[in-house]
Amino acid sequence: MARHPNSLEDCEVSLIKAMLQSGRYPHDQDVLAYFTRPSRSVNHARISEIKDAMSGEPMSAAARKFADQPVATDEEVERFVNSWPYIDPKTGLHLDAEERLVKAREAMLFAVQAFNNPACYFKSEIFIVASCIAWTYLLHHHYHTTNVDYVYRDAAGNPMMTPNGAVRHYDLRECLSIAACPLDDGTVRNLKFLLDIRHEIEHQKTSRIDAAISAKLQACVLNFNHHLVSLFGCRHGLDRELSLALQFSGISPDQKNELIQFGSLPAHIQSFSRAFEEGMTDEEFNDPRYAYRVALVQKTTSNRNKADEVIEFVKAGSEDEENINRILVKEREKPKFRFTEIRERIHRLGFTRFNQRHHTELWKAMDAKRPGKGYGVEVATAWYWYETWLDVVVKHCEENAAQYRPEGA
């Protein structure tokens, strides 16, 4: 049976028993006031049921569930009263009873702030670690409030313990795999991708991966806020606390080329990403819950009321959407060349002595076909070169013009 969102914790029942027993709170509502907060409303009948359970006389079925709960000590009551109300002023969340949800929000805020920090070189790695912690706490809190067991147990059903004697709760992957998981398929795929890539990067140098996986990180943030709100209410959403990230300059064509080239991306990261997405359908791959991709388009506007808006939403099926998709497809399909086309271009530049042997020696010396270099791609059984490799060949011929140009040319 699901746990009622306004139900009392066992430790709170112990505190209420001690407060009623002390005689310092003559009215039930005086006690009730300590346990009602913006995120929870406790029915007055709970106090009556706890008093009934303390009477020692025959009690109702509702009161019987409180009978075995011990009475808190005077020190515990004093500590509780002195720290009251002990809530987060922004959300009204209790910093003890709802600690998991408080920490889930803070961990995701930290992840985004770290990624947006212009002085940080460890952006994606920090984001992935912090966001996985955020999702783990979020799901733990959901399972706790819905009476779902999220404790590792042995074959006999006994809780498994850490080396230091604490109960072992599910890690994020296990939280995602159980039937009670409240997340949609796209969100689960996104988190499994981040978990797997975390294992690829946590013990080795990663070079540049920020731009390569940024669509997955953006989807992770939006998914988190969506499920945070849908599971626990709009007042807990992070969208009011995070704004657009500003930058000091626009994106020039040279910067654009730099952003989309992943030549320094480690081969094992590229290999993992291809393997993870290989079996996906187009619908799964393009699901914004899995990866949230955005087109940046420099645009003028005839509507001065909207001239200062950084983001403009384009209606699905409109002419604007078709034009943007046309631009994206054109950008994504890089020109490809066989050696004969490269040779023809090089000869037109006057390097007519450049032949296939020279070309083969050059690409082997530079290991240009190694995955991750970004100089070309194998399609079926044929190798095709990108424009980046053509630039390398031109530069090589210019630096060795005496070898490749006819004498007197």
Answer with the residue of higher pLDDT: 172 or 145: 172
29/103 Cα distance (integer angstroms): 31
| pLDDT of the residue at 237 | 84
Q: What is the pLDDT of residues 219-234, one digit of tens each?
A: 999 999 999 999 988 8
Find the angle CA(257)-CA(263)-CA(267) to the nearest 5 degrees. Answer: 150
Is residue 395 helix, strand or coil? helix
Q: pTM of the full predicted structure?
A: 0.58
Alpha-carbon distance values, 224 to 129, 187, 210 (Å): 14, 9, 19
| pLDDT of the residue at 96 | 73
Alpha-carbon distance values, 346 to 68, 358, 384, 400, 409 (Å): 88, 12, 16, 13, 15
| pLDDT of the residue at 133 | 96
Best CA proximity match to 127, nearest among 141, 139, 140, 109: 109
Joined together, the tokens standing for residue 316 give 């699905």
- Asked if residue 187 lies in contact with residue 284, where contact means CB atoms within 8 angstroms, the answer is no
**pLDDT over 60 (residue 318):** yes
Answer with the residue of higher pLDDT: 196 or 261: 196
Q: What is the pLDDT of residues 260-276, one digit of tens each?
A: 444 445 566 666 677 77
214/145 Cα distance (integer angstroms): 33
